[in-house]
Structure formats: structure tokens, C-alpha cells
Amino acid sequence: EALDDFHAPDAWYAEYGTTVSRALLAAPEVRAEVILGRDDREQIQTTGAYPFRCICSLSITAANGKRYVGTGWLASPNLVITAGHCVYMRRQGGWARAIDVFPGRVGSTIPHAAQKSRLLNVSGCAHGGRPVDDYAAIVLDRPLGGELGWFGFDGEMSASQLSRAVINVVGYPADKPGTMWGHARRLSQVREQELIYQNDTYGGNSGGPVILWDGTQGQVVGIHNYGDLSGNSATRINQTVGNKLVEWIGSAGS
């Protein structure tokens, strides 16, 4: 099992890293996925409880053998949703050679593990397309969701409903190796294809769920993938994205 990923960079840098991003890396106050002001992230201690056990640490081996990290979430017994740049890295040779998936990981403690058997992506991301297309799926070599459960998602929620929502952004940031952290805050802006928020994130959160939590149930409404000092952002699970996820679930089988 891939446990040598504690110092691997976020997959964002594999696909989008430039001289600019190298300069960003040198500046602790600026990250591709950003801590906004004071760091208000909280460590998730109950990683074995639902729904947190459905959130996955990703250890990614690119086509050229370089290692990266990311986050994903179970959407069916054997399908994990993540950011497109976690599975397809054009600058690193294309499709990831291997992805190890660790739901509910706590450091070197791996209660559950699977590997990718195949990858599903939207063509726009594979060809350097728009951020709103930067999402993908990992079909697992063995089902985990039957034991752990999986997230539901809502592509029918209106902008007015979302604008009132407190959302949780949860994942495996690279500065807290192998541990799960999250931050809850009200959405800043709801766009047709994106969600903008002031929740603190960090490299490694790429692909994590943006969760609308009512205290008992969680619905994923976005797929975290980018950040800026003006606000971090996610691909919004609108009707188009929701339909694509349903298609992938059907393609993956059970």
C-alpha cells in the first residue's frame, strides 16, 4: 500500500504548475487551494463514522512515475469522484499510472484500501478545458461502499437554496499528511457552474466533497478543485454534472 506520500505535492501542480505557481509555493500566504486569513480548519476525529469514512485520501502515481496526493469521495459501492486533474495530468504524461484509494485514512493507519481499475473523465479537462469540467471518477478494483456507504448528491438544488446554505469542505490537505480536515462556512457566491466559498483549504484537498449537511444527512453539492485569495471554488453539481455522475455510476456497475 502506498504510504510514502507524506511529502507529495497536490495534483494541481502536476497539471497547472508553472513558474507562477512555483513562486506561489515560495509564498506561504498564497496557495493553489488557499488558507484565507486565519486557519480555521478543524481535524476530523471521527473518520470511521459516516459520512467521513466515505472521504478518501488519494495517493497518485502519474504516468511519468512522479507522486502526488488528492482527495475523493465514494458516490457508489465502487466509484470515487475527484478532480479531473487528479486522474489526468497532461504535463506528466496523461492518465495516472496508479491511484491508491484510502477511505477514512488516519496517517499510516489504513482501515480500507482499493486501487483504480479504470478512470473516467470529461473530455474538456483532458484537453486543458474549463475549470468547471475539472471533475472525474475512479472505478475501484473492489467495492468499498457496500461496507462504508456512499454520498448522495443533488444536481437539482436551486441557486436560491444554495445561497442560504452552510457548506463543509472536507479533505486530505498536504500540509497535514494523511489526516482529514474540514471547515464549515456559508457559501459566498453561487454561479451556474461553480461554487465560491471562503472555507480554508490547502493543496491536497483537490477532489474533495463540498457537503451540504443538515445535522443528520449530507448531500454533496460541489467538487472542490481551485483556490484564490478572493475565494476557493468547486465545480457545482448542477443538472449536467449530476447526470454525468449518474452515467458514471451506471458504467461502473456494482
Q: Is 85 a catalytic residue?
A: yes
- What Cα–Cα distance (Å) separates residue 136 from each residue in 111, 126, 169, 186, 207? 24, 10, 18, 26, 9
Residue in 57, 76, 206, 233 annotated catalytic? 206
Question: In angstroms, rounded to a whole number, what is the distance separating the alpha carbons of residues 146 and 116?
Answer: 17
Q: Characterize the bridge pairing of strands 136-140 and 79-82.
A: antiparallel
Neighbours of 143 (CB within 10 A): 18
Q: Is 206 a catalytic residue?
A: yes
* Among candidate residues 208, 183, 207, the one with its CA nearest the CA of residue 197: 183
Q: What is the DSSP letter of 246?
A: H
- 193 three-state secondary structure: coil
Residue in 85, 183, 224, 233 annotated catalytic? 85
Residues marked active site are found at 85, 206
